[in-house]
Amino acid sequence: MGSLKPYIISEDARAQAEFYTQSLGGEILSLSTHGELMGAQNEFKDKVMHMCLAVAGGNTFFMADAIEPFTQGSGISLTIDYKTESEAGEAFAKLAVGGHVKYPIEMQPFGIFYGELTDKYGIMWMITAQLKSEPS
């Protein structure tokens, strides 16, 4: 069976990755440039060819710098489900900095805490937490 890994193309993958590791907790696991992997000695040599991040408790995804024009954002939303409302609220608040909140994170009639936003890089996020007691 395969595993799905989102791959985000960015105008500045290093800055965007730093934003995500600060907002969601985590770390950059690996980063390779076009110069390192392909021996490029042109304007792309320092651009990120492949980066792997772990965020929000070990979820991994990939990033790279765009080397041709692209449109930020898409019809895809990334969703992270947290164990507690406080974890979800903290991540939501950090991701919202410089972005646009579509739905503030709050209890929904269907029984979960839910919020939706577009971050400052044009990525849509849905942040949730199941209705559970907060740890003491």
Over residues 5-19, the pLDDT tens digits come to 888 999 999 999 999
Strand extents, DSSP E, 34-83: 48-55, 59-65, 77-82
- Domain carrying residue 81: 77-130
Domain boundary, last residue among 65, 87, 102: 65
Q: Is the pLDDT of residue 135 over 60?
A: no
Q: Is residue 90 domain-resident?
A: yes
- Tell me if the pTM is above 0.85: no
- Number of domains present in the structure of the chain: 2
In angstroms, the first-to-last Cα distance of the chain is 38
Q: Per-residue pLDDT tens for 67-113? A: 888 777 666 789 999 999 999 999 999 999 999 999 999 998 878 89
Neighbours of 130 (CB within 10 A): 13
